[in-house]
């Protein structure tokens, strides 16, 4: 239960910190943090939580990461369901807290997006479903590649959180214009349930694509990291 609680709290922090920066600070008059700030905020949530709870739960914070670590032989199948449940619940509770905060400002309109992920007319840059699908698969694949490599016993000890946090920052810098960046079904679900409508109807892509990408990342790392017999 302590591991599940850690995943709940860690995912809560990721959604509140990352999506909160997008909703509350990205376009704040005169001193908004913009795309660069939001990208950094998501990276910082993972970096800080990796040091805080990595030794307790592994700091997955993401159903796709848990599935990818299982595919990479680093995580037991028996823990997948409770980890994913804790992550999704943490994301939804964080979305609720963010909603309560954001709705305290005059003119707040959740239908404008609330940091939800989307494609087509709901993509920040108007990118198609195909573009969104490819982006989420490739970004998640390389995220898993970095995670598995940085946490390999042969990698320099103690630096994994930095590499993983910077990888997530880079992923957001690349893909916010395309999908608003998911690579994490719990992050997508946490805000989509409060928007409803289009955000929920497009949510399927932000579950399927990250999971496919995570599995591909695990397979790729297994291939490149295996020692020749």
**Above 80 in pLDDT, residue 30?**
no
pLDDT, one tens digit per residue, over 47-58 is 999 999 999 999
Amino acid 227: pLDDT: 74
Amino acid 112: pLDDT: 84
Confidence (pTM) = 0.93
Domain 2-225: homologous superfamily in CATH: Glycerol uptake facilitator protein. (1.20.1080.10)
Report CA-CA distances (Å) from 96 to 20, 59, 100, 122: 11, 22, 6, 21
pLDDT, one tens digit per residue, over 87-136 is 999 999 999 999 999 999 988 989 888 999 999 999 999 999 999 999 99
């Amino acid at each position: 239960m302590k591991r599940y609680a850690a995943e709940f709290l860690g995912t809560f922090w990721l959604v509140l910190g990352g999506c909160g920066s997008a909703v509350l600070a990205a376009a704040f008059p005169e001193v908004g943090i913009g795309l660069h700030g939001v990208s950094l905020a998501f990276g910082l949530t993972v970096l800080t939580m990796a040091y805080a709870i990595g030794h307790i739960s592994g700091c997955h914070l993401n159903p796709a990461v848990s599935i990818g670590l299982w595919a990479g032989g680093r995580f037991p199948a028996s823990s997948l369901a409770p980890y994913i449940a804790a992550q999704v619940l943490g994301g939804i509770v964080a979305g609720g807290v963010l909603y309560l905060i954001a709705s305290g400002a005059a003119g707040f309109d959740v239908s404008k997006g609330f940091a939800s992920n989307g494609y087509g007319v709901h993509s920040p840059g108007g990118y198609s479903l195909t573009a969104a699908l490819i982006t989420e698969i490739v970004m998640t694949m390389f995220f898993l590649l970095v995670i598995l490599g940085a946490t390999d016993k042969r990698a320099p000890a103690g630096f994994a959180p930095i590499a993983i946090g910077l990888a997530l920052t880079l992923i957001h810098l690349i893909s916010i214009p395309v999908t608003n960046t998911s690579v994490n079904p719990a992050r997508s679900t946490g805000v989509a349930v409060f928007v409803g409508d289009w955000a929920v109807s497009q949510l399927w892509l932000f579950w399927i694509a990250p999971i496919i990408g995570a599995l591909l990342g695990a397979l790729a790392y297994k291939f490149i990291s295996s020692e020749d017999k």
